[in-house]
Structure 1
Amino acid sequence: MLRTIIWFVYFWIYMLCTIPKLIWVKKLEKQGKIKERDQIVSGMAQRWAISLVKLSGSKIEVSGQEHLPKDTPVLFVSNHQSSFDVPILLGFIDKPKGFIAKKEIKRLPIVGAWMQLMQCVFMDRRDVRQSLQAINQGAVNLKNGYSLVVFPEGTRSLDGKMLEFKPGSLKLALKSGVPIVPVTIQGTYKIMEKNSWIIRPSQVKVKISPPVDTQAFEKDAPALSQHIFEIIEKNL
């Protein structure tokens, strides 16, 4: 319980301490210094994420970094076991990235502002029109060179076993034409179980699979979804 209290206190103190940098980055954005903005945002996000994971006491083992394309954006598609999946993917996969996230997160003080700077896309799954707009915005972000992460199960697993992908969750990849990088996360559900706020150390493995060329599926979203699901599941 003490670890959990320390973690949440640290989380918000860290966020408060980033306010001066947040103001500076927004100033750079207004000045049109986008490359400088992106470098600062990426570095801040990665350092923040690594510190949060380390504070949980967890050990992270990552394999497959050599599969990451260096000069092209990708859509990371990952299974979803815990809220800690986000900082682990941010901190331990060496490629800047944003997330397809629930619209409620955008309202979080400071956090929402940083996520917008990371080119995250916020989606309301209950609103079909807004979801389509979010997919279109995500495709634009990908075409503009910003990698994104999507959790197509739509919610966290209770026991680490994969859930079915939500219909249409990979339309973003087909619309943008960028490669998909499947990612398998194993063990994060033990750090913070679903419907619990208690943080416990865990041994986590992250497996990065080779990129999948979405153009080979000729706009066949169900076939692409099944293929990616199988790649991720076999590495659990």
Structure 2
Amino acid sequence: MPVMRTLRSLWAWFSITLLILIWLPLLALVRLVDRDPAHYHTGRWFRQLGAAMTRVNPFWDVVLEGERIEDPRRPYVVVCNHQSNVDIPVISRLPWDMKWVAKAELFRVPFVGWMMRLADDIPVDRGEKSSRARVLIRAREVLEKRCSVMFFPEGTRSRDGRVYAFNDGAFRLAIKAGVPVLPLAIEGTFDALPKHSWRFGDPRTIRLKVLPPVATDGLGAGDTAALRDRVRQMIVEQIAAWRGVPVEAVDALARDEMTAEVKESIKN
């Protein structure tokens, strides 16, 4: 019922806001005593906020599946498809920290943006080419400090539930740094909080799966596209398995058209 959905949404947002107000001063204290070069413990504490958000929300049942990462300080370039803002707290349920590459606008949001800065997340100005180069330099520094880096390689949230074309940056970084790519697949968040809506969707199960790491040993710059497409295909196939239907493949021509659509949506 629409009324119940509205009431549940109000309750969820109230709980989330309360958590944020409590978490910020605690996170600042953790940062003061965190001597790790990557501020790993500060980041881990911040991700716990996201995990807590998923637990107080009455709409979501989060199921974690897949590979177990034995060493949380082994650095990976982590990539995931992007369906909704809900992806962020759901992925925060994973039991290790990683620095997130996120659009610069989020770092200007009161409270949340302040915490992202405390956690040493990495801002990217999507309209500025030089920003992308700075992001890759900073991300490599994070990897050298034995902390993973998280990308949404589509560059924006899906508007129709499909997996859009992946940008190359995360895969170039993995090859240059000589670290594996760790693919994640997420399903169920697209309708959990539709784009440009404050009301949550009906109660649902959200699935997040850690797929097998993809090694980059022996790869060079010329292998970037093949690595990108291989990882994207792994994610697409997992989503197809969950849905029980084929996920539309995006060929080279459609990829260019989709990329143009994504760039236009960013401008808007």
Q: TM (normalized to structure 1)?
A: 0.89
| Structure 1 residues 211 and 69: CA distance shift in structure 2, 3 A | farther
Out of 25, 29, 32, which is 1:24 matched to?
A: 29
Task: Report deviation, 1:203.
Answer: 1.2
Residues 1-236 of structure 1: pairs in structure 2 closer than 5 A: 1-29=6-34, 33-34=35-36, 38-46=40-48, 48-54=49-55, 55-67=57-69, 69-91=71-93, 93-200=94-201, 201-219=203-221, 220-236=223-239
Between the aligned residues of both structures, percent identity stands at 27
Q: Which segment is superposed worse, 37-46 or 113-122?
A: 37-46
Query: Unpaired runs of 5+ in structure 2?
Result: 1-5, 240-268
* Structure 2 SS opposite 1:217: coil
Query: Unpaired runs of 5+ in structure 1?
Result: none
CA distance in 2, matches of 1:224, 1:98: 22
Superposed CA RMSD in Å reads: 2.1
CA distance in 2, matches of 1:173, 1:82: 25
Q: How many pairs does the alignment contain?
A: 231
Larger Rg: 2
Task: Report deviation, 1:182.
Answer: 0.6
Q: TM (normalized to structure 2)?
A: 0.79
CA contact 2:124–2:132 (8 Å) conserved in 1: yes
- For each residue in 1:77-104, what CA deviation from the matched residue of structure 2 results, as whole angstroms up to 9, or x when unmatched? 100111011111111x222122110000
- Which amino acid letter does the alignment assign opposite residue 11 of structure 2? I
CA contact 1:90–1:97 (8 Å) conserved in 2: no
Task: Report deviation, 1:218.
Answer: 2.0
- Which amino acid letter does the alignment assign opposite residue 16 of structure 2? F
- For each residue in 1:100-136, what CA deviation from the matched residue of structure 2 results, as whole angstroms up to 9, or x when unmatched? 1000011112212222233311101210111111111
- For each residue in 1:1-55, what CA deviation from the matched residue of structure 2 results, as whole angstroms up to 9, or x when unmatched? 12222222222222222233133234225xxx23796335413422x22221131
| Structure 1 residues 26 and 208: CA distance shift in structure 2, 3 A | closer
